[in-house]
Amino acid sequence: MKSSRTPKKINGIVEEVFRIYGIDKAHDEYRAVRIWNSVVGDNIAKMTEVEKFFRGTLYVQVLSPSWRTELLFRKKEIVTRLNEAVGKSMVKDIVFK
């Protein structure tokens, strides 16, 4: 018996399951947190720790005041790069603490 359906890639199936169960937004938020280190690079990653993602805002703990100031200047660039990496505009703001 020949099947008329074409095979699907596993990540497409996973995304469809997330959408069906209503957890696609939570998964996207998790991805934004998970890719922080690769988006900002090793130097910034060593000086920061993502605490949470809530309602479009990423909360990041910064280890020194000078790095916090630097990151405030680069916030718009980082938001843009995070959204590009996730593939949608979900990060609206970053709070550096």
What homologous superfamily is domain 10-96 in, according to CATH? K homology (KH) domain (3.30.300.20)
What confidence tens digit (pLDDT) does each residue in 64-85 have?
999 999 999 999 999 999 999 8
Residue 97 · residue 62 · CB < 8 Å: yes
What confidence tens digit (pLDDT) does each residue in 14-45 have?
667 767 766 667 766 777 778 888 899 899 99
What Rg do the C-alpha atoms of the chain give, in angstroms? 17
pLDDT at 80: 94
Length of the chain: 97
pLDDT at 23: 66
Is the overall model pTM greater than 0.85, yes or no? no
